[in-house]
Amino acid sequence: MKRELLIEMARIAVRSILGNRLRTGLTIGIIGLGIMALISMTTATSSLEANVVEQFSSLGTDVFTFSQRTETGVNRGRRVTVGEPISYEEAQAFADEAPDELTVAYSIFGTSQATLTKGTERTNPNIQVLGIEENYLEVSGFDIEFGRNFTRQEAQSANRMAIIGSDLVSELFNAWEDPIGAEFSIGAQRYTVIGVLAARGQAFGMSQDNQCYIPIPCVRQQFSDERSSYRVMCKAPRPEEVIELAEASTGVMRVVRRDRPGQDHSFNLSMSNSMVSTLEEAIGGITAAASIIGIITLFGAGIGLMNIMLVSVSERTREIGTRKALGASPRAIRMQFLIEVIIIGQLGGLVGIACGVAAGNGIAYAMSTPFVVPWGWMFTGVALSLITSLVSGYYPARQAARLDPIVALGRE
């Protein structure tokens, strides 16, 4: 009997919903707007988080880096940097003295405003040139798509060879041309392409495929490394050994840098996994703030839903009175309105989730971050729309159930 009653109440609720399309549409829109605000914000932040993890995790959780020590501050309106740069000799000495288990790579920044030229073809003046040695690509997680890497001898010589990103191939070469073995110029110096990197796309809105790698001695000759600091990257054989090897390597670097006992490190040590964790925490804060804003919006939607349902009860007093006069119990009346509001709430939730995922990924597309489907937040949206429906609809349903049939039938 209870099942038959529930089915009958559901039918009445559906007929009422279909009979009041404007009110139903407004109610679905209110719920959908609140859910959309929540889902779109969390989708966008989830996409940003996925991009951070993807880009920084490309280094691997088994990598740590030594770099110049910097302290941020302001002196007479200027930002100051404190710390002696890591020199070429120190980078080489560390590579020789580092624990045998490590794969060590060091690099030096040349310029970020280079223009590459091949015949009449020229790139934009925004190409980053780095000086690297033979282990750099392995430690950094880059793959060679065509050609080969530097040999140890080539990396330590001033031979004008280069490994370029895929964007540079499309800018300098025609589709039918083979870039391997071809020559191009950086300023007045000519280089021969020996390798092309596999495409990696964008990171934080910047292309990773417009870089040019040349041997470190070439950078020292063409761009000079005076007062420039070398970046030393170390790759452990297994992620669980990173902390232990980083501590041992820190001691080696202190000896190379001649840091005195008790003196602070004259360099910075960073780990890729800790950078990911730090950025994830920051994005987690943004997600929490976005969630609060979305829930506040949903709270406002709940108030709007309650007002609409109260108006609906007022408009349908004669219907309620007639049903009570024919024997409908207060429980049946209350169940009818609750089923009605639950159906409307779930429809609003589905509309809000669909629009929220689309809007959030639209923002993600604009920021060049990955497409994501936030399943957890989608289920949360369904649950929140159900809770909002029940909380907002219970009071109007109770008011309808408590109507006196004689009074209700007497109203115009």
Residue by residue, pLDDT tens for the chain (412 residues) are: 467 767 776 777 777 777 777 777 877 887 788 788 778 877 887 777 677 666 555 555 678 899 988 765 544 555 545 678 999 999 999 999 999 999 999 999 999 889 999 988 899 888 999 999 999 998 888 889 999 999 999 999 888 999 999 889 988 988 888 999 999 999 889 999 999 998 876 655 566 788 999 999 999 999 887 888 999 999 888 877 888 888 899 999 999 999 988 888 889 888 765 555 555 566 666 667 767 777 777 777 777 777 777 776 666 666 666 766 767 777 777 777 778 778 888 888 888 888 888 888 888 788 777 788 888 778 887 887 778 777 777 777 777 667 666 655 555 4
DSSP run (H or E) holding 384 = helix 375-401
pLDDT at 387: 81
Tokens for 92, please give them: 């080489």
In angstroms, the CA 141 to CA 120 distance is 33
pLDDT at 1: 44
Pair type for strands 127-132 and 211-215: parallel
pLDDT at 410: 55
Cβ-based neighbours of 156, under 8 Å, separated by 6 or more:
133, 215, 216, 217
Q: Going along 53-114, which residue ranges are E strands?
A: 63-68, 74-75, 78-79, 103-114
Neighbours of 282 (CB within 10 A): 13
Cβ-based neighbours of 284, under 8 Å, separated by 6 or more:
49
